[in-house]
Structure 1
Amino acid sequence: MGAKIITLANVYSKLLDISREVYVYLPPSYEKAKNRRYPVLYAQDGQHMFASDAKGDSWEMHQTAERLSREGRMNEVIIVAVSSISDQRAAEYFHDHPGVREAFHTTCKGELYERFLIEELKPMIDNKFRTLPDREHTAMIGSSAGGLVSYHIAFRRPDVFGQVAILSPFLVQTVVNEPEDGTSKQEPVYEQKLYHSYPVKPPGLRVWVDIGGAEGLIMPRQVRIFVDELIASGFTPGEDLMFLLDEEAGHAQTDWAKRLHNPLLYLFGEIGHPRSLKLAGRGRVGLQGHRVWLYPKVTYDTGFEISLLQAEYTVAPPEVLGVGSDGLIVPLAEGEAEIAVNFGGLADSMRIEVIPELSDHVQIEISVTVPPSTPADARIHAGFEIPKVRDGFYQGSFLLPRDLGFEVKVSRGFGFHERRETSRRFDTSEPVRLHFIVEEWEDDPFEKKG
């Protein structure tokens, strides 16, 4: 017999006083190898791990795990996919933190959800299935707010979870402000930290962290601050901390599915040997203003990918700029220089120009035309909210952090996106003026049917 997915319906939590579905993937050898026990991966937002629904595509986690196992690159695992509940997700995925209360005005149930996983669900799974229940063989994975709650649980309870994969973590609530007049003193972007920092590394914990380059206001800069905190607490990049900047990826199930093989190989398999090294990034930096990091990407012979948080750099001429081992570029004088990086016997290089100034923020103008079916009180978003000018037309001018990437569909509230085959992509590398025309909305109850 092959692999199978079992649905545990109406799994009740006394702590949370709510029921949910839990999906359990059993690997291909489970039925025949009666004496074999398996590592376990607990996944947040479990309804998206093995199948798609109206609110998101599937990670197809079972298919990726089976492929890697079949290729001999990863051990077989049991996957416990824990569904989130729409109207409880925000509360359950946030541990108590002043920033959460300020940003969302919600009750934080993260501690209770943590106890549900550890005190109620895990004992049931360990009793019902042939697991390896110790911390070394128990891992957790999640994305966005699911990545945030996975981080908090793993760092609070490393006695239970010895490994964690944190994908596109929702670490900071970012609000874009549009000044009402030229005299406004408010910051163009307000950032509220949502996570707890742990100054001492939990013993034995192994961590995967990644972020896409087109996730809009979930910024690589914020994640870089986070991973630097992990390094300061005692984690070692390339050993118990792996990081990936997936430059073209947005904030969507399909993006997480595409790079899922990386954390699976790190948590349960063999990453292999470095095969290629690529150094790329911004070609211009300023003596003043915007700080820039380099993220050399290493690809292994297994397909595993990481971005280097620490590397050996050389610069010619060194009078123009320097590069720290952490990849931070330090401009010294106007001109051009060539940066070379070496890792594991591999090398690559790129040229960078130093100019007098590169501002931290860029002016972006966005206007949106919407169809007549749009409710008059609709709030229109294109990565952030666009103010209404008149019925059918929205427009705003914003100062956004430089070098953000956006991959979005225009929306008019939760669950209502424009009907469009592909997402719209734009970035803030330079000032830009954009106009989006929404032809129709998906699943629009106000839309007239012919």
Structure 2
Amino acid sequence: MKKLIFLLLSSFAFGQDNIHSHNLENSGNFEGKIERINSFPSQFIVTRTVDVWLPKAYTATKKYNVLYMHDGQMLFDATTTWNNQEWKVDEVASKLMEENKVNDFIVVAIWNIPELRHMDLYPKKPYDLLSKAWKERLQDEIQKSHFPFDATKINSDNYLKFIVEEVKPYIDKTYPVYTTPNHTAIMGSSMGGLISMYALCEYPEVFGKAACLSTHWVGFLDFENNPIPESFFRYLTKNLPNPKNHSIYFDYGTATLDASYLKYEYRVDEILKEKGYTDSNSKNLKFEGENHSENSWQKRIHIPMEFLFKK
């Protein structure tokens, strides 16, 4: 079991607000160190926690790659998550670095706010490609199912601005990191997969790499003649950046919610090929029997991590 002890580390000015960073030390099997900002100030989105994970051998005398990740509260400590599962990002990343399989990197883990998660992470421009009739039908179905989503409040463009214009400048200033796209990656699962794809397309000058696990192509729950997947594929066809200096990883399981993605995966393969991506700079991997959960993603995150930062 992981026990995390909070120690005040530092505070300093950030715009008109103060960021208070806390150092999470380990008294169990926690690998490395986390510096936590409990309420990262933003003019774009609702304030939330941001964790910065640093590897055990972290030193200010060398530079690091940076991996931005979504759903930050699910990544490190199963004793505090809603479903008692975690990605084990600290253990997996530490092992890869110790085995010299990847270039060293830090992880910037952005927490979600559960009731806002779908609005924050649903890519706005693909949604705008849907017809008015489909938008109205979808909103009716969403309201009937009491799903926590309001299409009029899609905020993904501002969520990305938060990362690019507020979080990244802080990280670049505070830590010894490379700041260029070829050293900057973004990763998430499900809705986090969609927003990672969207980040690569919207900010190719910021993110050179993205990893999208169990990407939630159906948008909500799947149904017959669902137009949402094709809206994402139309967007990707137009906006996926140059494969010469960008790379993207997709994957999917075959059980639970991931099973609903299977009939759409051929479109992902088609688009990657059409846009000039090859096996060297893209993946779309199938994991037979794996489901839509942190436990499943934990089993395979070493694969996208190696894809993003392989030596």
Q: Do they fold alike, i.e. is TM over 0.5? A: yes
State the SS of the aligned residue for 2:41: strand
Structure 2: segments with no counterpart, 5+ residues: 1-24, 26-30, 143-149
Shift of 1:123: 0.4
Q: What code does the residue aligned with 1:6 have?
A: E
Q: Which residue of 2 aligns with 1:265?
A: 306
In the alignment, is residue 120 of structure 1 matched against residue 166 of structure 2? yes
Shift of 1:197: 2.5
Determine which structure has the larger strand proportion and give its number.
1
Q: Which residue of 2 aligns with 1:48?
A: 74
Shift of 1:222: 1.2
Q: Which residue of 2 aligns with 1:417?
A: none
Give the TM-score, by structure 2 length.
Answer: 0.77
In the alignment, is residue 4 of structure 1 matched against residue 33 of structure 2? yes
* TM alignment of 1:272-311, pairs within 5 A: none
Q: Which residue of 2 aligns with 1:413?
A: none
In the alignment, is residue 240 of structure 1 matched against residue 286 of structure 2? no
Q: Which residue of 2 aligns with 1:325?
A: none
State the SS of the aligned residue for 1:117: helix
Shift of 1:56: 5.3
What CA deviation, in whole Å up to 9, does each residue of 1:216-241 have, x standing for no partner?
Answer: 453222122123112212211x1111
Counterparts of 1:35 and 1:208, CA distance in 2:
31
State the SS of the aligned residue for 1:218: helix
State the SS of the aligned residue for 2:236: coil
Counterparts of 1:94 and 1:101, CA distance in 2:
14
Q: Which residue of 1 aligns with 2:260?
A: 218
Aligned pair in 2 of structure 1 residues 131, 111: CA closer, same or farther (>3 Å)? same
Aligned pair in 2 of structure 1 residues 35, 248: CA closer, same or farther (>3 Å)? same
Counterparts of 1:43 and 1:176, CA distance in 2:
25
Determine which structure has the larger helix proportion and give its number.
2
Q: What code does the residue aligned with 1:19 have?
A: T
- Please tell me whether the aligned partners of residues 222 and 260 of structure 2 are also in contact (alpha carbons under 8 angstroms): no
Q: Which residue of 1 aligns with 2:104?
A: 76
- Please tell me whether the aligned partners of residues 255 and 289 of structure 2 are also in contact (alpha carbons under 8 angstroms): yes
Identity across aligned pairs (percent)? 28
Q: Which residue of 2 aligns with 1:282?
A: none
In the alignment, is residue 23 of structure 1 matched against residue 63 of structure 2? no
In the alignment, is residue 192 of structure 1 matched against residue 221 of structure 2? no
Greater Rg by CA: 1
* TM alignment of 1:146-185, pairs within 5 A: 146-173=192-219
Question: Which of the residues 176, 179, 193 maps onto 1:133?
Answer: 179
State the SS of the aligned residue for 1:198: helix
Of structures 1 and 2, the one with the larger relative CO (CA 8 A, separation 6+) is: 2
Kindly report the root-mean-square deviation, in angstroms, between the aligned alpha carbons of the 2 structures.
Answer: 2.0
Shift of 1:80: 0.4
Shift of 1:171: 1.3
What CA deviation, in whole Å up to 9, does each residue of 1:298-323 have, x standing for no partner?
Answer: xxxxxxxxxxxxxxxxxxxxxxxxxx
In the alignment, is residue 39 of structure 1 matched against residue 39 of structure 2? no
- Please tell me whether the aligned partners of residues 217 and 261 of structure 2 are also in contact (alpha carbons under 8 angstroms): no
What CA deviation, in whole Å up to 9, does each residue of 1:387-446 have, x standing for no partner?
Answer: xxxxxxxxxxxxxxxxxxxxxxxxxxxxxxxxxxxxxxxxxxxxxxxxxxxxxxxxxxxx
What CA deviation, in whole Å up to 9, does each residue of 1:236-293 have, x standing for no partner?
Answer: 1x111122100110001110110101001111124xxxxxxxxxxxxxxxxxxxxxxx
What CA deviation, in whole Å up to 9, does each residue of 1:110-143 have, x standing for no partner?
Answer: 1111111000110011111111111110000010
Aligned pair in 2 of structure 1 residues 11, 173: CA closer, same or farther (>3 Å)? closer
Give the TM-score, by structure 1 length.
Answer: 0.54
* TM alignment of 1:421-440, pairs within 5 A: none
Aligned pair in 2 of structure 1 residues 135, 110: CA closer, same or farther (>3 Å)? same
Q: Which residue of 2 aligns with 1:95?
A: 123
Counterparts of 1:245 and 1:79, CA distance in 2:
25
State the SS of the aligned residue for 2:227: strand
State the SS of the aligned residue for 2:157: helix
How many residues were matched structurally? Answer: 255
- Please tell me whether the aligned partners of residues 199 and 229 of structure 1 are also in contact (alpha carbons under 8 angstroms): no
Structure 1: segments with no counterpart, 5+ residues: 178-188, 271-450
